[in-house]
Structure formats: C-alpha cells, structure tokens
Structure 1
C-alpha cells in the first residue's frame, strides 16, 4: 500500500534529530543521530549514536552540544550509523523539528558516503505548530514543548531532542488527524503557502507582474461587489447578529467550524469579511452559516474566542491575531536550584510568575539585579557542574550550587526571600526597595561600608528600572481580585471576572444577584496563608490574554483578600 495513502492513525513515524559540526555546505558533518519510533500516539524504540567526523570540532560546538572531540574520535563511522537510520526509515514517515534542515543534512551525508537516501515523506513539527498551536509565540523546540505542557529536562543532544520532538508530535497528532485522514492529506495541509505564492509570482513577470496581478484582482472585486454581498445575505444566521461584543463562528454546510473571530460589534465585523475592499479568505467560499456567542465586554470576547479556538481548532484560525508585548518574570519550583527567568507567558505547574511587565530588556535586567542581590543562579535551568566558581560566584553574587557542595535548603531560603517580595499583598517594587534600604542600614551598622555603597548603587538603578515597568510588580497568583471589564459603548454594562491563582475561575455579566455566593465559590480553594502558583498548561494562554488586557486597559479592580462584604461587592459591580 502506498505510504501516502495510509491513514495517519495507523502509520508509524520516526522522530529524528541530528547534531552537526556547525559548518555549512560541503563542510557540514553529522556528529550525532537520534531517532524515536512513534506509533499510536506513543513513543517506542529509541536509537542514538555518535558519528566520527573528519574535521576537528570547534570549541563553540563542543560547549553547545556537549559532544567533545574525544567522543567523536571513538565513535563509529558515519556510514554505519546512517545505514541503520536508512533501514529504520523504510516504510515510515520522518518527523523532525525544522525538517528541511535534518533532511538536507542526512541526504548530503548519505550521498557523501555512497548511500541511497530514501527520501521519505516528512512532517515538520514547526509547520504543525504553526497550524495547530497558534498561541505558541515561540516555535523553537523547547519553548514550544513547554507551551504544550511537555517537561523538557535535556536539550542539544540528538536523542533528547528527538524525544521532545516526538512528544510535541504526539500532542498535536489528534488535531492533525482531525483535518487530514491520510499521510498525503497531512503533507498537503502543512505545505507552506508562501512557496505557492512565490511560484505564482515567478510565472507572472516577477515582482512587477505580481503587483499587476494583485491590482487586477482588486479591480475585479470592486467591479463585482454584489457577488460577495449576496454570499453574505445567503448565510444562515447573518441577519440575527447583534452589534454587541462577542464571538462569531463561520460554519460550512455540514456544520463544521471554519473560522472563529471576536469583535466589539459582531454584525459590523462579520459583514467586513465579505466587503469588496477586503481580501477574500480561503474559507469564505465554504461558509454556509454563522452563529455567535455574546459577551458584555472586549475582555469577555477575547476569553470566549481563545476557548473556542482551542476547543474547535478551526482551519481558518492559523494563529491568534491579538498578541500583547508583555513578558513575565517567572520561577519554576519543580527543578533543582530554581532560577529566575523572563518568558512571554506565565509558567504552568508549580511555579511563581510575576507580571505582566512591559519590556523584555528591562525585565531581564531586573532578573540580573535580583540574582546578584540574593545570590541566585545566573545560568539556565540545566545546572552545569564546575570545578571552580563562575565569575558571579567569585564576585560573591552567586551561591555557586554548580560546585555540588551547597545545602539546597540555604539556596531555597534565599529564593523564598526574593519571591516573598512579590507574593505579598503590596507592590513588589516597593517591597524590593524597602528590602535594599534595610540591608543598607544593616551593612552600615556593621561598618561594612563597601557593601552599603554597593547596595545604594543597586537601589538607584532599580528605581530607574521600576519606573519603566508598567503596573504593580506582583505575582500573578498573589492577589485574588474581581475585575470589572466595561462594555465598549454602555458604561452601565460589562463583565465581571474572578481572578484567583492567576486563573479565570468565574465570569458573568455585571450586576448578578448572587455576587457573594459566586465570590465564596471562587475563593473556596484559596488559602491566603499559602498562595500557590499552580497554573494548568492549558490555561497559560488565557492567563496571558487576561493579564495583558488588564495591564493595558487598567479596569476597576477589587481585591478579594480579605473577602469584602456583600455591600461592597454590590457597590463595585454597580
């Protein structure tokens, strides 16, 4: 049976990753190959081997990959390893992250050693994520895996990256199989549209010819606007759309969702898709009906849109349109000697996330300052082992757990001291400055004048940094609160959102009769003595959207710790 005609759910895949010597062209050599057999949505057999190389490895490549010259000197010849990989690919689909690179490297290596490259069908997990994980703002392997709730413990080695790639593929395989029943359908679905457009432009007189073609298509649309207006009028449900905030869903004749969008004026936005001045989308010709879910605010529409896109996975939504520019200072507590880091989204699982903060460079410098103040690690999550302290350790700005002789409890006390500044009820920035003032007085009292002067310089710089960060510098889970998102045109209406532990635990149109009961239910699992930062991976994107909207629009907010009485709740909702 032709491999392209086989159903996706029955075919076997081989997730492959390669490490190279970092050179391009004819100088590129494979240093390691890793492969994982994937079948039935699970990982099975593993295969990995180093490869001997002819040219010496650079120091940079050895530091990045951890593959030393001595390791490849003792490795088997590349043709032996490649022959085993070629045999494993027989009758299987190759899966790789940035598959074009791995295919090119493997094909060149096979040709160089007289082996026949089988040229198997290949699925790229970057293209897969672009299609079915549009909310993943970074599509590098590790950030993408973490956005899907996949724990990554090792990287930059072939087998570890192949396993991560296989897990990413398994996470997205159900969505792919829902839209592409066979291997051939999957390849056609994931084929980049950019290549098709560039080929069309090349056969139409190059850049100027393409411009003339677009201008001609635009004039045709302007000459015949009635056709698209007629298509809009024929849509079932189009006339019932209100000019209110909410989410609209286009469906085909079989009722399958084609596209999900949000707007603060549903009727106007839906009509704009069929206006003569708009570029026609591939799904508009298939649209047979449109339905909607109404909200009372822009934030309500954003939350609805995000939830429906994740639940329905419509093909017209390649990625979510609204992307904020906020970042988070976060610390994952499930790794040894946790580190502070800057990321575009709050962390899932057992973690503390501070933000949202506007400005990655400012947030990164704030992390650097905190690390030096409290002696925390400046390296990444993977703890390197050293025989001597790093530069920060030699300057007294790091406790140097990399030496292997540090008490984890001491490090954790320092970390908890730093995080406690942001998990309280006040402004974390003010608490940080107050902490430095207390340390400065203590150093001066102990006649440690050099440290006191160093702390004063740190404080002056931190004041500048904090003045450039928007909003209150606090952990996302530290303050349960009730947020009132107003209606865009009617000040007396809106949505109420209960945010607890960084999550939207409840929301409804403003003015309900059971405010006190809803608040009690929202805070049922909230312990003010031990606020936790547990956030499910599937709700990270929603937390980012809500926090970014709140930071941008500064809506009215009511702190729920301590719990306000029913009179104050009613006054706030009104």
Structure 2
C-alpha cells in the first residue's frame, strides 16, 4: 500500500500561526450573574508579537464596594464617565473574532463575558480557550514554583510587567506567562494548538500503567492510602465511594502535577472501609495529622495552631500562645498562623484600650507610661493612672468581644477604614480590612466550636441512601462512634448499643480539648446539613444571640471578589 502524506489541516495549526487574545477583567464581585464588569483589558498576539490592544473602564451601573476599590484602585469616580457594557461588548467581540482566548483561571473571565452576552442578546463566544493556570500545572513542577498565581508565574518567567489587579496590565503579564508556558510545552513535543489543548488533559504513562491499583478497592465510604514500595504512606484521602475516587487518579481528569508525581512513586493503595461518610472524613483528618504524608498539603500539622489569650492577672493583656491551659484565661482561635492571631489582636486593641506591654504588672506596679498613653490608647495602669476597677471594665469588654459580641470591634475598624478610604489611603485600609476579617472569622469559628464542645454527649442521625439511617455519637465535639442502621431496624436498641460502645472522652482545658478544630468543624457541617435529626442532647446547643456570625456574613460577602480573584490567579500546585 502506498503511503499517503497528511494534509496541513490534519497536522494541526502551528502555535506560531495562532492568533491569541489574552484578556483580563475587573468586576464588582465574584458572581457573573450578580456582579458587573468594571474594566476590560485585552492583548492580541501572534508569533510572539503584540498586534493590538484593547482597554477600557466600564460603568457597572451601581456603586463599587469599598473592598473592591481597595483591591483594584478602581473607584466610583473613575467609572462615572465610562461606557456601559452594552457599548463596550460589541467592540470586545469584534476584537476577539477568529482568535483563541487566553486567561488566567479562564472560567472566571469567560463566565462574565458569557453572562454579558446573554444579557445583551449576543450568542456566547465560540472561541477556543486556553487557561494558563491549567497549562502551568501541566508543565511546571512544585520544585520550580510554589503555586500557579499570576504574580508567581510572572516572576518565574521574568515578565517586565508586574500584575496589579488592573485589567490591561494583568493581561500584558499573562502574555509573557503564555509565551513562557508555550516554550516549556515545546519540550513535551507540543507544537500545534490542537496538541496544546489535548496535552493539558492527557493522562501520563504512569497513570495509565498503574490503573490496576484501583481494582481491589470496594464501592464503599472510607479512607484510602497511597503507599510506596516500602510501605511509606504518600497520600491519604477519603470518599463516599472509594473505588470511583481511586480510579479517578489514573484518568485524564487528574491534572495536579504534585499528585501525578505521587502516582509515579506509589506501588499500592490500601483502604479502610467506614460505616458512614462522616466517619471517613474524621478518620482522614486524624490519620493525616498522625502520619503526615508528604503529598498531603492540608491538615498535616493540627498541633501548630496558635491562640489569642486574654491573660488572667492583675492587669490582663492579649498574648499569642500555642497551648491551652485550664488557668481561667479567655481564648480566641485557633489561628493557623501567628500573623493571623496578631492581626486579630491588633483589631481588638483598636476597640478596647488594653495595655500592650509584655511584662507582668502587679497592683503596686509603677513605671513610666509608654507612648500609647499619650495617644489615648492605654490608661497607663503601669503608672497607677488607671485603677484595677477601671481597667477591669476594659477586660470585661474584651472578654465579651471574644466570647459573644464583636460589634465594638467591627464598628471601630469599619469607622477607621471609611476614614482611610476618604483620605485615599487604600493600602492602609486594606490592612485594617484583613485585621477585621481575621478577628471576626476567628470569633465566629470559636463560638460555633464552643457551642458543640461544651456538650457532654449528642446523638444525631441522617437518612441514608438505602432507606436506613447514619447515626453518630459526639462527645465534647469529638466523633466517638458511627453506625449504619438498616432500614426497618428498631432505633432504640441500635442507638443504645452504639452509645455503649462509643469512645470515652475526658474533658480537658480550653474550648477545644477533645478533638482538633477541623474535626469538630466536620461534625458541625454534617449536623447543619439537610435531613439531620437530633436523637439525644445532653445540655444546650446554642450560639450567642449577638454572636459574630452575622458580621462574618458581611465580611465574607465583601471578600467574595477577592477570593474569586485568588482562585483566578491559580490555586497552589499540589
């Protein structure tokens, strides 16, 4: 048979001949259906050369949230005279016609463009899309870069443009990242657009070769452990269906470079079947904390959390500690870093004039007051200017803010941020924003955890898919027993047997004494899920009437745009 030479179309489109439009958006929030575009920046490139740019502010049709102005620097005054999206969109669609779209975390940007097209009666763009986050995870290793954020990649590829949350500048930085990634992909024999698109999702030879490791894993809830040839645990995970989850590691859907590297080392998969998905989730946390597998990123070091402590002494102060003690002190936390705890401490100091010196003061202490007294931020108990009774009022305010009511902290920081924004001191306002968020989130977390960890025993149940019930025994915030009650079984003897065989928990010091905060939060998420019913509760399960949850909701809404931006710049490589 004579050989037939393929056509150029069959060979694909060389990347040097592809027209790319690299674009970036700024918006008023993270939801394409609830928020609006405030800026569009796009750069058209072909063969490594820039052949056109498009940039414009967009009037979102409403006020820009202060948190967004702090993040991007785009204010209401800047967009007041800008065109609306109905005027900008036709020009953008014309600019991208016939091109391959490129964006960093493309789903975010293309989602807003599709929503705008739908609102204005245009069909959604049918352009091919390349996501530089996905491509970076495919061609770069964790030894080269710690994450796939745009700023990290721009520095790695020595881009002269530094990303700054402005659309055109971020698009220009993404152009340099794209060129660097395409050059790296060339070493994988990727030379056409078609090869580039399939390359990102293709399973590695190691993934294909080791698919047999999932064959003995059952279809049941539980925990799975990837191990090397010596039996060392490399990675621990959990699933409601062990077989399906483990099999997914050997398919094209698993694109994380860190995990693909792990699969290359793994020689066996061990599994532990659990009675319920909640038991599997809790077991996973405990095993990761105890084993500390090198390929797990989360939950490896639960013992490294820190706490903010209001000391128990004549003139209490706020201290960052690593250990909870039964010493009568008030605690707030846990925090995952000392910086987060210090941010929360600074926020509380903004609202309550507690002393900030570190030495222990006695009732007879007498030494010169520091500059904080001159600034009106401390009553100078060290110099005898503030009596123990007067200082105790501040201590009581701090205890109340830590345990039940964060209103005074929220009000004080909000007023300061508004003043700084009016003075256009956005960087300082963003620092206060982070401090307030750290405090409010910690207080809300603490109040939820404490509400459960003070209950000696709780039995709760949720309906199972087979018509039975998943029943759990929780003591002081720790899961002590889990069972699956079959359909039609009598609940009383089943529950009594489960309670009788449940783990015994001895109360300890501090608010989180029986389990890690992560474990208790897993249990709380399950308790708050639809269909869960309380069978028995010893004591009261309640949150403070004026607790931090309502303020946390406002904080989270304001941060939604920033969180989406973080995901858009790329999650850490795993």
TM superposition score normalised by structure 2: 0.40
Higher relative contact order structure (alpha carbons within 8 Å, sequence separation ≥ 6):
2
